[in-house]
Amino acid sequence: MGVTCVSQMPVAEGKSVQQTVELLTRKLEMLGAEKQGTFCVDCETYHTASSTLGSQGQAGKLMYVMHNSEYPLSCFALFENGPCLIADTNFDVLMVKLKGFFQSAKASKIETRGTRYQYCDFLVKVGTVTMGPSARGISVEVEYGPCVVPSDCWSLLLEFLQSFLGSHTPGAPAVFGNRHDAVYGPADTVVQYMELFNKIRKQQQIVFPHR
């Protein structure tokens, strides 16, 4: 597990999502990265059931249940600004049992699928974010394997991102800002993905009529 940065690549003008992804992958292959299969990250949203809400009438919290093919035997459950739980895949079955407390938000399943590239110590994943049948955006994830402390290798990561993302290089992710010297973990990656998905969901409400 190394330090990972998840960012969004805006769709090139006049091109479709598919074409932009192809452009990126071609750039990577020219760099010398080797294809190593596919990856998939998906996310489901749950509301806390209204029956369990207190008399204060607060809005139900949203819980996200995510899977990452990089950790095939794990399941992640997290709240927006709250804790993130890493559990066994039996957690999905548990959610079915907890139907009374957590209700699935309709049409909320969002996922990103794509190819995995290995370039020496870097692991690059370029994926298409889809919600239902429509593609909504492009996610780019870069992992630097050897290092686990974000503050030590952020500059290296940034340089690498610049080499193939060019002007679309993102800033430092929010998770880095919290604890600079703490060890990076898989939960942080998943939090980044959640933020990305939320951003894309919000974006879509504006962009959708366009496409």
Partner 1 sequence: MSGVRAVRISIESACEKQVQEVGLDGTETYLQPLSMSQNLARLAQRIDFSQGSGSEEEEAAGPEGDAQDWAGAGSSADQDDEEGLVKFQPSLWPWDSVRNNLRSALTEMCVLYDVLSIVRDKKFMTLDPVSQDAVPPKQNPQTLQLISKKKSLAGAAQILLKGAERLTKSVTENQENKLQRDFNSELLRLRQHWKLRKVGDKILGDLSYRSAGSLFPHHGTFEVIKNTDIDLDKKIPEDYCPLDVQIPSDLEGSAYIKVSIQKQAPDIGDLGTVNLFKRPLPKSKPGSPHWQTKLEAAQNVLLCKEIFAQLSREAVQFKSQIPHIVVKNQIISQPFPSLQLSISLCHSSNDKKSQKSATEKQSPEDHLYVLEHNLHLLMREFHKQTLSSITMPHPASAPFGHKRMRLSGPQAFDKNEINSLQSSEGLLEKIIKQAKHIFLRSRTAATIDSLASRIEDPQIQAHWSNINDVYESSVKVLITSQGYEQICKWAWIAISFPLRTTFAASHVSWSIQLQLNIGVEQIRVVHRDGRVITLSHQEQELQDFLLSQMSQHQVHAVQQLAKVMGWQVLSFSNHVGLGPIESIGNASAITVASPNGDYAISVRNGPESGSKIMVQFPRNQCKDLPKSDVLQDSKWNHLRGPFREVQWNKMEGRNFVYKMELLMSALSPCLL
Among 47, 185, 198, 203, binds partner 1 (CB under 8 A): 185
Q: Which residue number, 170 or 186, has a Cβ lying nearer to partner 1?
A: 186
Is 86 among the residues that bind partner 1 (CB under 8 A)?
yes
Is 74 among the residues that bind partner 1 (CB under 8 A)?
yes
Is 63 among the residues that bind partner 1 (CB under 8 A)?
no
- Residue 56's SS3 state is coil
Under 8 Å between Cβ of 109 and 131: yes
- Residue 206's SS3 state is helix
Could you say which residues in the range 102-161 bind partner 1, by CB under 8 A?
none
Which letter, b or e, does each residue of 153-170 get, where b requires 16 or more Cβ atoms within 10 Å of its Cβ? bbeebbebbeebbeebbe
Is 75 among the residues that bind partner 1 (CB under 8 A)?
yes
Minimum distance of partner 1 from residue 164's CB (angstroms): 23
Could you say which residues in the range 191-210 bind partner 1, by CB under 8 A?
none
Is 90 among the residues that bind partner 1 (CB under 8 A)?
yes
Is 72 among the residues that bind partner 1 (CB under 8 A)?
yes
Is 71 among the residues that bind partner 1 (CB under 8 A)?
yes
Work out the burial of residue 183: count CB atoms within 10 Å of its CB; fewer than 13 is exposed, 13-18 middle, 19 or more buried: exposed
Q: 21 Cβ partners below 8 Å, 6+ apart?
A: 114, 126, 128, 138
In 47-185, alpha helices (H): 90-97, 150-165, 174-178
Minimum distance of partner 1 from residue 37's CB (angstroms): 10
Among 53, 87, 98, 174, binds partner 1 (CB under 8 A): 87
Is 79 among the residues that bind partner 1 (CB under 8 A)?
no
Give the closest residue to 6 by CA, choosing from 138, 180, 204, 149. 138
Binding site for partner 1 (CB under 8 A): 1, 70-76, 86-90, 185-187
